[in-house]
Structures are given as C-alpha cells and as structure tokens.
Amino acid sequence: MKNGFLSLLLIALMGIQFSCSNGNSSSASGATASSAAASDGLSISGTLAGAENLKAYLDLESFAATRVISKADIDASGNYSMVIPDGVKPGRYRLRVGARRLGLVFDGSESNVTISGALDDLDKYRLPITGSKSSKELTDAMNGMYTKSLSEAQLTDIAKNSSNPFVGLALAMTHFRSATEETLDIHKTVYDKLKANNAKPSDLSAYSGFIGQIEKQMSLQRIAVGKVAPDIDLPSPEGKNFALSDYKGKVVLLDFWASWCGPCRRENPNVVNVYNKYKSKGFEVFSVSLDGLDDRTKSRFGSAEEIEQQMKRSKDRWKQAIQQDGLTWKGHVSDLKKWSSAPAQTYGVSGIPRTFMIDREGKIAAIGLRGAAAIETELLKLL
C-alpha cells in the first residue's frame, strides 16, 4: 500500500495537526533554554552524536504552516536542552536538526522528554525516546515500517487502534496513502477518533478533504475503459427499481442527464434515434436523472414543507421531460439528489450530459460519447 498517487497532496497535508479543546495552554514561541523545565512545562533534552555545535528545533506541524515553538544550541559534546514553559497541546510535532527530522506526537501531559542517539538515525526513527508514550509508540511503528519488522496488519492495527489518534494520523499519512478500500477505511477510522477527541472543525475539514481525494481517486480508478461498470440500482418515476446489472448481455448506453439541463435535452433526440434504430439488436439505454434537490439547493428553502413541494415539482418535471423527449426505454432512475446523486459521485460526473457505453460483459467500452454518429460508431463495434 505504498503507491505514490497522492505524493503532491501529501506534501501539503503531511503537516495536518489537530488541537483538541481539552489540551493544555498554548506553547511558547521561539524559546531557547539550557535549564530544566519550569513546573507544568515541557523539557526536551538529550545528546545527539554528530550534531555538535548545531541547533535543534521543535516544530509544531499544522495544516497552514509548520511553526518553530522552541529551539536550542547543541554544545560541543552534542548535548541540547529546550524548554516550553507552558507545555504543549496534544498534536503532531517534530524535532529538527539540519536536514534531519523526527516526527513526534504529544498528548499534552509530558514534562520531561529525552531523545538521544546518533544524528544520522534521527529520521530513521532509531533513537530511543523516554517521557512520551505517544512519541515512543510512533517511533516504534515507524521503525517497524522502515525495517519491515512489522506487517501491514500490525501497522494497520496501530493506526486504527492507538490510544492517541494523532499517532494513527501520523502513521496513516506516512504509510497508508494508496487509493484502496483498506486505506480509506483506515483514514476514516482515524478521522472518527479525532472527531471524538474534540479536534477543531477546521482541522477535521482539512483531513476530510484529504479523505475525499482518496475517494475521488478510487472512483477514477474504477471508472475507466476496460473496467467493470459499478452497479446502479434506483427507483423509476413510478417507484419500480431498475438495476444496471440487470442489462448484462446487452450493450448499454449509461446516460446521466436532467430535465433542467438544456444541453441534455438537445442531446436526447440523438440518443432516441440510435435507440430506435438498434433496440431490436440488443441495445439499451439506462438513464440516470440528476433532477431533485441536493443539500445546497435545499438550504434555499425555509421549511420541510417547501422542500417537499420542490421535490414534487422536480420529480414532475423529470417525468414530463421523459414524455416530451420521447425517451421510451424503461430504464429511467434517480435518487432525486441532483449533484449529490450517489451514482454521479461514483462515476465522477461533474457535468451533464455524460455517457458511458457498456459492453455485453458489463465493462466500460467508451466514455463521453455525444451525437448520434459517435454513439452509433461505438455501438457497432460492440453489437
């Protein structure tokens, strides 16, 4: 599960940090110290061989930007010590020395954290950490990932079931980034745990956007020439369900349209002409209407009664358009959710009319056919 399709997005999103409302007060910015931590504060210290006379930084990782919250000089023996007098909030951090970085996760209760070892091992997660249970859990998981001493099942278990959801987030964003059902399940589980731990709405929104990109990529992977067409099973205007899978063995033009769509209505005669010409030879049309109301449209109305009235009007317009345009085939379905239509989202439909030619085996043979000539040319290859 190491496909890199989201590499660019991950660069932007790797810094997502969720600050829970029940955390400690804000940390100090840019503090430099060599003494022990003040009471209720956080001290991070240790010895880093190979880092003599450099500087160590503690960064807070956030969606907007990575921010330095503390720094310290490393002496000639590799010793360093930094203090954050007010402590830190739960979230994701990193210890940075030169080009080396070590991801950390704090739960907000830490007071004295020790990180020592060789500088070269910093970004390989081979340094022992004391004083932070969450950081040690993350370090052990990341080291197990790099050394392959932990299986995919074990890494999945840590990401989904860590007592600190920020550990799950850090591991998920680093390792589980391919567009698969398993990856999606991991991220949704982490998201739910973060939400349950009172993550800020803006941070949840950022993570939700990342999850949405995974879902979109999965949809694009499913919807391609040669792929099996995902099934659609929805009611007709009369309430009878029709399923796309019921048409297997025939060549089907899957047509997304709506009564309110001018280009769709102008395209309908082309579809009708081809249908009437080839319906006796194993050709069918399966029409999915984007009539109805999505959440955005519903928000324009002030009451449930108004929404119900508008839904009825929209459904009536759908039925009228079927009659007016002579769409005589039986396969007319809709969930009446307009742009929130589940099939439209599955097929990645962002504009209509949008068509998919499906062969007798139920596989997508062509996408975006418009005009009688284009539809007929592709159809003749499949009949």
Q: Are the CB atoms for 56 and 72 separated by under 8 Å?
A: yes
pLDDT at position 73 over 80: yes
pLDDT tens digit string along 26-43?
Answer: 333 333 333 333 346 999
pLDDT in tens, 318-344: 999 999 999 999 999 999 999 999 999
- Write the CA distances from 218 to 207, 213, 255, 368, integer angstroms: 17, 9, 21, 19
Tallying the residues shown for the chain, one arrives at: 383
Tens digits of per-residue pLDDT, 279-307? 999 999 999 999 999 888 888 888 989 99
- Which has the closest alpha carbon to 230: 288, 271, 294, 270? 288
Q: What is the pLDDT of residues 143-193, one digit of tens each?
A: 999 999 999 999 999 999 999 999 999 999 989 988 888 999 999 999 999
Q: How far apart are CA 231 and CA 244, in angstroms?
A: 6
pLDDT-based confidence at 64, cuts 50/70/90?
A: low
Distances (CA, A) of 112 to 42, 305, 375: 6, 60, 70
Provide the percentage of residues in the chain whose pLDDT is more than 70: 89
206 falls in which pLDDT band (50, 70, 90)? confident
Per-residue pLDDT, 63: 64
pLDDT at 15 over 50: no
Q: Where are the domains of the chain?
A: 7-219, 233-382
Burial of 256 (0-12, 13-18, 19+ CB in 10 A): buried
Q: Over the stretch 307-320, which tens digit does the pLDDT of each residue have?
A: 999 999 999 999 99
Q: Enter the tokens of residue 27.
A: 């940390």
- Give the confidence band of 21 by pLDDT, cuts at 50, 70, 90: very low
16: pLDDT strictly greater than 70: no
* 203 pLDDT tier (thresholds 50, 70, 90): confident
pLDDT tens string 237-275: 999 999 999 999 999 999 999 999 999 999 999 999 999
Residue ranges of alpha helices (H) inside 231-281 are 262-278
Q: In whole numbers, what is the pLDDT of the chain averaged over residues?
A: 88
What is the percentage of the chain residues whose pLDDT exceeds 90? 73
Nearest to 109 by CA among 41, 173, 166: 41
> Full-prediction pTM beyond 0.85?
no
Q: List the one residue out of 50, 53, 47 whose CA is nearest residue 74.
A: 53
DSSP-based three-state secondary structure for 132: coil
Given pLDDT bands bounded at 50, 70 and 90, which one contains residue 356?
Answer: very high
pLDDT band at 201 (very low <50, low <70, confident <90, very high): confident
**φ, ψ for residue 237 (rounded to 5)?**
-60, -25
Instruction: Please report which residue ranges of 224-303 form alpha helices under DSSP H.
Output: 262-278, 295-298
- pLDDT score of 28: 33
**pLDDT for residue 20:** 34
Given a contact cutoff of 8 angstroms between Cβ atoms, the answer to whether 265 and 289 are in contact is no
Residue 116 CB coordination number (10 Å): 16
Provide the pLDDT for residue 23. 37
Please state which of the ranges 70-79, 167-176, 231-240 shows the lowest mean pLDDT. Answer: 167-176
Alpha-helix runs per DSSP H in 35-164 = 133-147, 152-161
pLDDT at residue 200, rounded to an integer? 73
Superfamily of 233-382 according to CATH: Glutaredoxin (3.40.30.10)
Comparing 232 with 29, which gets the higher pLDDT?
Answer: 232
